[in-house]
Chains A and B, each alone.
Chain A
Amino acid sequence: MSQLIKTTVLVIGGGPGGYVAAIRCGQLGLDTVLVESDRLGGTCLIRGCIPSKAIIHAAGQFEAMAAAARAPHFGIKLDAPPRLDIAGTVSWKESVVDRLNGGVRALLNRAKVRVVSGWAKFTDAKNCRVATADGEVLISTEHVILATGSVPTELPFLRFGGRVISSAEALSLNELPKRLAVVGAGYIGLELGIALRKMGVEVTVVEAKSQILPLYDAKLVEPVRRWLDRNGVTLHLESRVLGLDKSGNALEIEGKDGKRLALPADRVLVTVGRQPLVEGWGLEEMAVAMNGRFVRVDERCATSTTNVWAIGDLVGEPMLAHKASAQGEMVAEIIAGKRRRFDPRAIPAVCFTEPEIVSVGLGLQDVVEADTIVSVFPFQANGRALSMQAGEDGGFVRVIARKHDHLILGVQAVGQHVSELSAEFAHAIEMGSVLEDIAGTIHAHPTLSEAFHEASLKALGHAIHI
């Protein structure tokens, strides 16, 4: 006997797009069902943002202690080097994930969202079957919000399994590898590679393009490159991965010069991007038009099929949790009869590398130099311990403004702890701020944010601390 559920809104996927959409639907009084086959929270909470930031945090603590064991650091000296128990770190990470996972469930309950655990498969655009532990559930709905997210891209010649792992496994290692090869120097690969390096793993990074973090300009990634250099991470740029060698113990690559090279590795972490999860749940039954590998949506996140909506990684770049959440909230309001569209001026992007990178709005590569003012303020010029630390690797804040009216088009920063500045940058751009607005806002001393103020002053020709 299969159970039949009739509902107004059916959300597929319990990640930061889907669960936020469901909660908002519930708040708006819509009868809502959410289907998730895994634990609630999606990639972000279970095997992405949250666990990786936990591991990165632990790695940072370990590194600081290790440094204090080698030589006194801030006058702190450890008599014996610290010892890392990776299983302990992973179980602490799991406890963080568990707590947040429980939180999501509680929020959904409070919003009166019904959660069905199982894998949904659509038979047409408004009906699906879910195989649950208690048997099959049929769900018939007026609206569908597709939020299936994305999965790591696999290389055909380097399939996941054995020593070849994706970011998910890298966050749940039961023992540290001695040598790790990272394929792809995007933000996921570098965040994890750097964290594992801090834990003492020998890390080698292979990238096909000519620089690390190829989506950013060279100046912005330079401090990260310098950190890798100083900490003994080997970089192979403009190199092609061929696969594991015959022994299976080394990664074979073809270097810039065309020479073949075998990189011995206990683990090979493949982070060459992510792709939308479009298979296995009956998308083909829904008559939804595609946009390349993504589901095509308009500015309201409406697909080509009436009352079928799609959000998050499924609908395109940037594949970021906060974009998915914003779209989820919006779609819920549209279904509830409000007039909305997805119209952000900027979506902040953050790399939790060492040091961190933030980019909001237009970057150097997006603007014509003659029409813009580019102002760079180094953290080192700011006299505070934390910002000096942020400036250790040559960190800075960069403001890009339109020359003729001083409208702020983009802001970037690189340095320790700068991720927390992303909110002010995004807010400035969303509000349509001009340089004078930032210059005229008193920034608290002593904080990192002063560098944004100073960069704006500098753009206007009168920085104080430089």
Chain B
Amino acid sequence: MAFFKHALIAIILCSLFGSSAMAEERPNVSRPLNGIKQTVKSLKEEDFAQAAVYFQEDKKWWTQNKQKIKNKSYDLAQKMDRQIAETSIGLVTKDMEQTQAALHTLQGLLGDYRDGSYTDNQGNTKITLASYIKKLENTKNSVEQKDYEAAAAQIQDLQKQWLTVEGDVVSQSQTAYDNTERDLMLLSAYIEDSASQMKTADVLTGMISTLAPFKSTKYTWLDAALIPFREGLEALLIIATLLTFAKKADTQKAKRWIVGGTALGLTVSLLLGMVVAFLLSTLAFGQNNNLINGWSGVMASGMMLYVSYWLHSNADVKKWNEYVQTKSDQAISNGKMVSFAVLAFLAIVREGLETVVFLIGMAGKMPQAELIGGILAGAGFLFIIAFVMLKFGVRLPLKPFFLASSGIVFYLCFKFMGSGIHSLQLAGVFPSTVMEYLPSIPVLSIYPSWYSFLPQLLFVTAGLGIIIHNQLKKNAAKHIAA
């Protein structure tokens, strides 16, 4: 547990370091925006002279900020420069249409500058949720104009870019997040099939309305707390179950293996997350994240299927006692210990990198103290849950413990398989074929595709089979005893 604590402190320290590097404030553009507002108002009264006076504010702002913006992005600076020139000319020549159009465009550019949605001099594009929604709208336009080739390319981009903005959504609404992840797969499924291409537009409309409420939300410490909490809860459930089990079996060695796997998972997530956020862009990494997510999910799921079965079969107290006795002081074999460590590692890495990227991304969106406070609160809450689970789990009689933990592990195994395959579909490893008649419950990672649904169906069937089989055996045993 001490190790876990250290790892937590490391996270916090690193995000401190990270946020100071990312602490660039959103530029304040209220002055030029206000200038435009006044200018437009005067134009409505056809008072060009007054409009020119108001527009002076914008020109002055531009003189003072031009170089700064140029250093960030030539493209953006050039576009702004041009619109300011166009407005000036429009005002001099009293061309209402030209002036209004240029002012309108300039207003949009200022917004892009404020939100960071432009291509910078290094060729990186910072995407915000607002600009992501704009991209959804553009894609919808392509679909409506029946330009499916363009739409397919845009959808690929949308899948890649999601990692950059999903942090804004996951902190606000788990449902919106889950649904968007499902819809992203639906998009590529529909656009590739000429029979369903038109439906892509409906999916896009749905996505736009799902995401729109989050586009201009302000972030507070609670959001910073919810990210590690939501992303970490599942991993925590697995690790706490494994730890409790190790305690029940009274093996220090197993405990060390599990903690070691956890620590390694945290370190790798942290390092990779920082490399992605600072050295690569999240955009360039987008698809790889799906691969990490997918493969670690599927592998963890496979291992958990076995762990769940194993836990369940040990629920027979007599058998367990026999087991512990025969193995004397080593109730858990070395091989199993390693697999526990691997499982803990996979469970952390699955969403760990993503979490680090999200948190670093939040650094520019709220005061540092609030961000760190939030992360602390989220991590602290996870810590409390882990603590309670361990205390409670150890006291729990053997049978309910094994049944409950095997249930939890089975549920997560089911979920990881679904979301793992789904991520691999997003990464293009599996085709994203969708069947209308299949259920779609993103919260449980149930997606309407046979690729992810079939293994889940098999898991449930196998699980039920084992329970029924055991029950029948028990009944038979009772019958004989009677």
The answer to whether A and B belong to the same complex is: no
Seen from chain B, the residues whose Cβ lies within 8 Å of a Cβ on chain A are: none
